[in-house]
Amino acid sequence: MTEAVLSTHVTPKKAVRRASRKLGTTGAVVGIVVALIVLWQLAVSAGWINGKLLGSPSGVYEAAVIGLTQGTLVSDTWVTLYETLAGLAIGSGLGIGLGLLLWFLPAVSGVAEGLSVILNSIPKIALGPLIVIWFGSDASSKIWLAGISTFAVAMISSCAAAREVDKDLLNLFHSFKARPSMIFTKLIVPSALPWIFSTLRVNIGFALIGAVVGEYIASQAGLGHAVFVAGSLFDLNTVWLGIIVLTLMASVLSWIVQLAEAKIISWKKK
């Protein structure tokens, strides 16, 4: 009875302290970013730095207003977001699925993981021209490039997750004469979920890089295309705008994955 009462009092306090720490960290990050933006604008206004060479917050704001008014910012953002999500889903989905299924074939798993390491070591920007030639300059080439950028990481992580499963739990399943299919669905997959979500957070950046690299090489739309054209015209404010939008996109997608992780594997905190 006493332990139950203590737990009901301690847990809310811990939750409040945890929320306060998160709020304090977020506030500190926001404060630092705002301070840097203000200093940047003051330095440009005072002539300490060349606004034409480095851009300025006011110039970025004007570029954002123009992009929103003309609709190009929204359309380019949507194109890049679509390519990133499609590539992330295809590459990570295939990599995770194949990596976990290789648990049934331990002899093949090591070879497949080694090949994945080799594939992951290839600079994806070097594959860009080949992908564009094979699949054309439309969105499909960017999706394939984003998918290839995420496949190897997902497969390596999934193979490791299946291999590093708790041996005591595995022996317990074997002691009850559990079928391999039951072990896979009841132990391997649930144990691999934290690895899978960590891989998805990492692969958001890889998928975004793949999509943007493809847009750099050959594209008529997307944030990568907009940044490339703006850089060619020395329009650094639009370049900064593209970088900011890409950063926000990656941050929001990562936050969504973290939210899904907290909902799906709530037992992780416990």
Comparing 88-102, 175-189, 246-260, which segment has the lowest mean pLDDT? 175-189
**Residue 191 pLDDT grade (very low, low, confident, very high; cuts 50, 70, 90):** confident
Q: pLDDT tens digit string along 25-59?
A: 777 778 888 888 888 788 878 878 777 777 788 88
- Residues of 175-214 as b/e, b for ≥16 C-beta within 10 angstroms? eeeeeeeebbeebbbebbeebbbebbebbbbbbbbbbbbb
Return the pLDDT at 8.
Answer: 44
| CATH number 1.10.150.120 given to 56-268 | no
Residue spans per domain, the chain: 1-45, 56-268
Q: Which residue spans within the chain are E strands per DSSP?
A: none
Dist. CA 247–CA 77, nearest whole Å: 12
Q: Sign of the C-alpha dihedral, residues 116, 117, 120, 121?
A: negative
For the residues of 40-69, what is the DSSP string, one character each? HHHHHHTTSS-HHHH--HHHHHHHHHHHHH
CA–centroid distance for 65 within its chain: 27
Q: Is the model more confident about 123 or about 228?
A: 228
Q: Is the pTM of this model over 0.85?
A: no
